[in-house]
């Protein structure tokens, strides 16, 4: 079997499983969305990294020594319909690496990452990945039962907070925050996130 070390060795129109993904030894970071290879953006900008560092710091302080755990990319999250039981690697066709995610169910954690939907996912957008995050990942997270999803816009200094409606199984825009607002996750109302600190240079 040929060792896959370059993206050019793969058929970008093909369909791949998580089992395939585990065999690749690529220098590039990729994600699988419904079996399709999605190359991630080049190295994030300074502003993107700064926001993740600042936001991650606030989250770490809150979740340290609490049951729910914080994880940063690169961290594999295998996604599949939340109504289904755990699937084998050959049956999973979506694996993503959210910028930040919170996982409360320790049963979902494996040596490889997370097996199933995190409770809360945060994606920090950059000019190169906005379309992917806004469209493909929004639909994917919604379909797979991620309860809370935040889209963070570093240049606009804004946060869009989406919450999964349990009846319709669709996201609703729960809140929009900007500038120096205090943002609170719905799932963790005791956590105050000062956006002035998050967006500080």
Predicted pLDDT of residue 124: 93
Binned at pLDDT 50, 70 and 90, residue 134 comes out as: confident
Mean pLDDT of 67-83: 90
Predicted pLDDT of residue 81: 75
This prediction's pTM: 0.92
Predicted pLDDT of residue 126: 81
Q: Which of 105, 106, 119, 112 is CA-nearest to residue 78?
A: 112
Percent of the chain having pLDDT more than 90? 72
Binned at pLDDT 50, 70 and 90, residue 116 comes out as: very high
**What domains can you pick out in the chain, each with its CATH number?**
7-39 (no CATH), 46-198 (3.90.1570.10)
C-alpha to C-alpha distance for 160 and 167, rounded to whole angstroms: 21
Q: Which residues contact 101 (CB under 8 A, 6 or more apart)?
A: 70, 71, 75, 77, 114, 118, 120, 121, 122
- Per residue in 28-54, pLDDT (tens digit) is 889 999 999 988 776 678 888 999 999
Q: Residue 42 has what DSSP assignment?
A: S
Report strand pairing: 30-33 vs 76-79: unpaired
Sign of the Cα torsion 108, 98, 51, 131 reads negative
- Based on its alpha-carbon atoms, the radius of gyration of the chain, rounded to whole angstroms, reads 17
DSSP letters, 97-140, are --SEEEE--GGGB-SSEEES--SEEEEE--TTTHHIIIIIIHHH
Predicted pLDDT of residue 178: 95
CB–CB of 93/84 below 8 Å?
A: no
Taking all residues of the chain, what is their mean pLDDT, rounded to a whole number? 91
């Amino acid at each position: 079997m040929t060792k896959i070390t370059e993206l050019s060795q793969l058929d970008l129109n093909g369909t791949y499983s998580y089992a395939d993904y585990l065999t690749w030894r690529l220098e590039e970071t990729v994600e699988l969305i419904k079996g399709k290879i999605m190359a991630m953006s080049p190295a994030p900008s300074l502003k993107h990294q700064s926001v993740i560092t600042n936001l991650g710091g606030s989250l770490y302080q809150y979740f340290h020594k609490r049951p729910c755990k914080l994880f940063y990319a690169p961290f594999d999250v295998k996604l599949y319909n939340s109504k289904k039981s755990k699937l084998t690697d050959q049956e999973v066709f979506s694996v993503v690496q959210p910028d930040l995610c919170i996982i409360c169910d320790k049963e979902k954690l494996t040596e490889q990452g997370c097996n199933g939907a995190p409770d809360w996912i945060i994606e920090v957008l950059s000019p190169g990945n906005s379309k992917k995050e806004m469209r493909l990942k929004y639909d994917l997270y919604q379909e797979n039962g991620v309860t809370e999803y935040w889209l963070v816009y570093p240049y606009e200094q804004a946060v869009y907070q989406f919450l999964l409606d349990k009846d319709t199984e669709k996201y609703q825009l729960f809140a929009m925050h900007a500038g120096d607002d205090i943002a609170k996750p719905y799932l963790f109302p005791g956590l105050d996130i000062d956006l002035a600190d998050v967006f500080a240079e």
